[in-house]
Structure 1
């Protein structure tokens, strides 16, 4: 077996089909199948099996795919030993983030890592559904993602650390009758018109929890993912919205009120493939992200 074959096996476990692996690695499906056959020749028990039209991993294949993560990590550490030993932490580090996290963290990174001898940043905004964040770790060194406090964990194929556990508040126009009450309850807000994110994005679970506790289905009138745009619509009287307390920009005509009775908090996590932090530059950027998150919490308190 070789490194490329193990990489293909790992990707097959993550992506679930030969065609998806071929697309991710920019080769043909037949080339992927050939490498899997070559790998199988060196292993005495089956690594893959048919599931309908798809090729999937057996239990043995899953075990070897998990070991492949360790192999890639060890090889990445070996390749970067010389760079680390020579003290050259100024390589390029790519960072992706969803919009509100990008607004909060990107300027801090740029200011904190400006100057000679520091990592060169390549930043990208990625507003994707929650289940698509792990796939971004194929293309970025670090991915800032979010999930609800009670949401499913990230897959084992990526490493995650939490930057913030951020409360989600109800955003109302400054003159709204409920603006004088805190905290609000699901019963207070369930009958109001709502501005929500699109399906598949984390905040929708909190809207569903409000409906469950209040035993009423909120009226969703607008679907807007960008919090800055949502705040403008709230200010104009378009409805209520859930807003993150720390990372969304304040609006002069919008007030935030805490919501009781449901889990209204999100994790802002940074995801990466384990081998990425073998590079000192990546570790430097990761440490700066944690310092920035600590300053955000201190400022709020």
Structure 2
């Protein structure tokens, strides 16, 4: 039995005929009769009987119709609770981000949502391989993920809102000979030692593209995922590194130079399951992330 069948039984008890129930529910009498037959199959005792030309409820049918009132009341209460949850402006919203995105977005997000009545955000850092970001949407409402331009798109199981399309520049010490150039090429940087990420992380594909464009195998001296740590190693003379232009805090001892000849940029996307944005609080946080992205990019203009 289901909610609709129970309602039909209740209406039959109150209105007294299949025709009257059909008119009240704006369906055909045959549709009402079909639902009553389906309901009867799930119950061992008769629910209706003929009284002349009328179809009336048996005692068992009346008992079930009375119970249907309780069912409808409970369902109405449950719907109201869900509606309040969905429309609540100050609900809790969980947000995960990889490290550099978290450093750039989290402070702006917290400041934007500091007023009373705003969503309450729970923040988490998740530094995972690109293919693992979509799985995080099972745990978090919103997941900030990065993907290189030429990488495969995100799976259709998640919805994607692109926040930033961020260039990746070559970071070097301010006194490095290449710092005098406005832009560098793969050939310029191919013979330098490199600080790069571990295999499976998005930036690694750009390192491979530099090697392919220069026709030389790069010397990967150090494997460091955290850009702030990599910046310190670059400053200490450990080699060159690719650095995001906007989301990584500028190091006073480094300069960033654009890279010509290869695609060197990444998308920072918000991933989420589509049903999450049914909640007003999640939509509010997503809007603030978009606003934060504009501020992050604008700060470099």
TM-score normalised by the chain length of structure 2: 0.72
Residue 228 (structure 2) aligns with: 228
The 3-state SS of whatever aligns with 2:123 is strand
Shift of 1:297: 1.7
| Contact 1:80–1:279 (8 Å) recurs in 2 | no
Shift of 1:115: 2.1
Gaps spanning 5+ residues in structure 2: where?
A: 3-78
Shift of 1:224: 0.1
Mapped partners of 1:193, 1:201: distance in 2:
19
Shift of 1:296: 1.5
Mapped partners of 1:167, 1:80: distance in 2:
42
Q: Which contiguous aligned blocks of 4+ residues in structure 1 show a shift greater than 2 angstroms?
A: 77-84
Residue 107 (structure 1) aligns with: 107
Residue 192 (structure 2) aligns with: 192
Is 1:81–2:83 an aligned residue pair? yes
| Contact 1:88–1:117 (8 Å) recurs in 2 | no
Which runs of structure 2 are paired with 1:34-45 in the superposition (5 Å)?
none
Shift of 1:81: 3.0
The 3-state SS of whatever aligns with 1:137 is helix
Post-superposition Cα deviations, 1:26-48, rounded to whole Å, max 9, x if no partner, equal: xxxxxxxxxxxxxxxxxxxxxxx
Mapped partners of 2:133, 2:219: distance in 1:
29
Bigger Cα Rg: 2
Mapped partners of 1:227, 1:139: distance in 2:
25
Shift of 1:172: 0.2
Post-superposition Cα deviations, 1:217-244, rounded to whole Å, max 9, x if no partner, equal: 1100000000000000000000000000
Gaps spanning 5+ residues in structure 1: where?
A: 3-76
Mapped partners of 1:110, 1:175: distance in 2:
37
Residue 124 (structure 1) aligns with: 124
Post-superposition Cα deviations, 1:25-76, rounded to whole Å, max 9, x if no partner, equal: xxxxxxxxxxxxxxxxxxxxxxxxxxxxxxxxxxxxxxxxxxxxxxxxxxxx
Residue 95 (structure 2) aligns with: 95
| Contact 2:90–2:118 (8 Å) recurs in 1 | yes
Mapped partners of 1:88, 1:156: distance in 2:
28
Mapped partners of 1:297, 1:249: distance in 2:
13
Which runs of structure 2 are paired with 1:14-53 in the superposition (5 Å)?
none
The 3-state SS of whatever aligns with 2:133 is helix
Post-superposition Cα deviations, 1:179-219, rounded to whole Å, max 9, x if no partner, equal: 01121000000110000000000000000000111000110
| Contact 2:146–2:202 (8 Å) recurs in 1 | yes
Shift of 1:78: 9.2
The 3-state SS of whatever aligns with 2:199 is coil
Is 1:152–2:158 an aligned residue pair? no
Residue 42 (structure 2) aligns with: none
Residue 288 (structure 2) aligns with: 288
Mapped partners of 1:145, 1:289: distance in 2:
13
The 3-state SS of whatever aligns with 1:131 is helix
The 3-state SS of whatever aligns with 1:104 is helix
Residue 217 (structure 2) aligns with: 217
